[in-house]
Amino acid sequence: MNFRTFVAVGVALVLPIVAFAGPLDEPGYHPKVPLAGHPGMTYDLYLPRAYAERQAHAELRFPVVFLLNSGGSPPLVDWADAHKVLAWAETYRAIVIGVNKFFHPETSAGPRFNAPDRPGTDVMDAYMAVADRLPGAHPGVRLVVNTDPFTSARDWAVAERFPAKVGGFTFGPHNASSITRDEPLPMPPCAVAAFVVTADAYYRGRPSEGMPVYTEEELSYVSWRETVGRRLVERGVGFRTFENIDWNVGTAPLLRALTWMQDWAWVKGTRVNDAERRAAKASIARRLATAGEIRDPEERRAAVEDLLSIPGVDRTAEAKAAKDVWREAAVAAAATRTVPYFRHAYLLALARHPMMTGSPELAKVNGMAAALAKDPAVTGEQRALARMLDLHAEANGAFGNLAVSRDLLGRYEAVITDYPDTLCARTAKKQVQWLQRIIGEMEAAERRKLAPRAPLPR
C-alpha cells in the first residue's frame, strides 16, 4: 500500500491547539478565517500534520470533515477537541472545517423552529467552496457532523444539496421528526450514521433516574428506522446506528461513526481513484486482523462489527477470523451490563444476531439468558416495567384532571410497594413527586374557587 495515497491507521497524535496567523497551507488550527465575498462569515480550519507532505507530493488527497455549528455558537475547536475529533483527524490525515454560521434547512416537514431571519441550506455553498479551493481536499470523501442533535436535520439537507461531494453524515436522535417519508433521500453511495439512545444506554448515562419507560424514544425512532431507514438501505445508501448514552453527541460513538463513514466513502465512493480504494481495503483488512488485540470486549465487538458492515468486507479472508473474534467479544461484553435486566435483554438480542447462527457461542448465550430469565431481579423488573408502561400511556390525562391524577398517584405508589427493589420503583418515585405537585396545585385552585369573595367596593 502506498502510504501517501491513503490514511495512516495507528495511534492518534494529540497535538496542542495552536492558532496560526500564517498561510492557510500550514498544518494546525486556523481560527475564524473570513469567507471571501461573505462579510461577517468565518470558518475554522484544522489541517493535520500530514498536510505538510503536499509540498513534496502534490497528488495527495485528504478527507474533509465539516462540523456544523450549534445555535449556541460555542467555539467549534473546543467542541472538536473535547470530542477528540482533532486527534482522529491526525490519525486519519483529515482536514476539519468548522461551519461558523448557524442555519436551518428546507425540508418537506418545514423548519424545526420558526426563525425566518435564519439563513437556509444555501449558506453551505460558501463553506463547500472553501474545500473546493483548498489544495488536496478530497472532492468526494467529505463528511458532515451536526454538533447539536437537538436542532433541525441540517446534515441531511447538506447531503441532498451536494450529492457528489458528501460521502457521509451523522444524524442525531432528535432529527428524525424533521425527515418524513416524503423527504427526498440522499444519493448513494452516501452513508448515514444515526445516533440512537437505547433504554440500557440511557440508564448508563443517568442511573439516578432509574428504568427508562419512555419506549417511543428507546431507540429514538423505531418506526422511522423501519420506514425511512429501510428506504435508505433499499436505495443503496449506507445506514448504521451508533449507540449514545445520552441525547448529546458522545465521543466514542462519534469517532466510530466518522471512521465507519470514511471507510464506506473510500470503498464505495464514485470519486475515489483505484489506488485510494485499494489502500482502503488493505487498511480495513489490517484492522480486522488486529481487532483481537483490543482489550475492552465492547470496543472489540464494535470495531469488528463496523468493519464487517462495509460492502464487500464480509467476503474477504480476514472476515472469517474476525467473526470468531466478534462472537467471543460479544459474549464477553455481556458482563459489562451490570444490571441483570439489561444483561438479559442484551443476551436475547445477541442470540438473534445472524453472526451467532450455528456457532458454539450460541448455546452459551442461550444458557446465560435462560438462567437470568429466572432471576427475581429480571422477572420483577419485567413485571414492574409492564405496569409502568400502562401508566405512562395514561400520564397525559393527568394534566388538569384531579381525579385521573389521584388515580395515577395511587397506582404509581403501588408499583413502589409491589416492586421496591427495582429500577422502575426509582422512576415511579419521581412520578409520585410530580403528581403530588400538580395535585397540590389543582387542589389549591379548587379551594380558591370555593373561597368567599369580598364584596365589591361601593
Q: Domain 11-272 is of which CATH architecture?
A: 3-Layer(aba) Sandwich (3.40)
Q: Measured in whole angstroms, how far is the alpha carbon of residue 47 from the centre of its chain?
A: 25
| CATH class belonging to 381-448 | mainly alpha
Residue boundaries of the structural domains of the chain: 11-272, 321-373, 381-448
The reported pLDDT for the residue numbered 451 is 79
The reported pLDDT for the residue numbered 63 is 98
In the structure grid, which three cell numbers stand for residue 172, read together?
442525531
Interval 326-344: pLDDT, tens: 999 999 999 999 999 999 9
The SS3 call for residue 173 is coil
Give me the residues of the chain with pLDDT under 70, please: 1-23, 71-75, 108-117, 177, 214-223, 454, 458
What's the one-letter identity of residue 55? Answer: Q
Burial grade of 300 (CB within 10 A; 0-12, 13-18, 19 or more): buried
The reported pLDDT for the residue numbered 138 is 98
DSSP for 306-370, please give it: HHHTSTTGGGSHHHHHHHHHHHHHHHHHGGG--SHHHHHHHHHHHHTSGGGTT-HHHHHHHHHHH
pTM for the whole structure = 0.89
The reply to whether 11-272 and 381-448 are identical in fold is no
Phi, psi of 135 (to 5 degrees): -55, 130
Q: CA-CA distance, 221 to 347, in Å (whole number)?
A: 22
Which residue spans within 147-200 are E strands per DSSP? Answer: 166-171, 191-196
What are the CB-based long-range contacts (under 8 Å, 24+) for 154-157? 154/68, 154/103, 154/104, 154/105, 154/121, 155/68, 156/105, 156/107, 156/183, 156/186, 157/105, 157/106, 157/107, 157/121
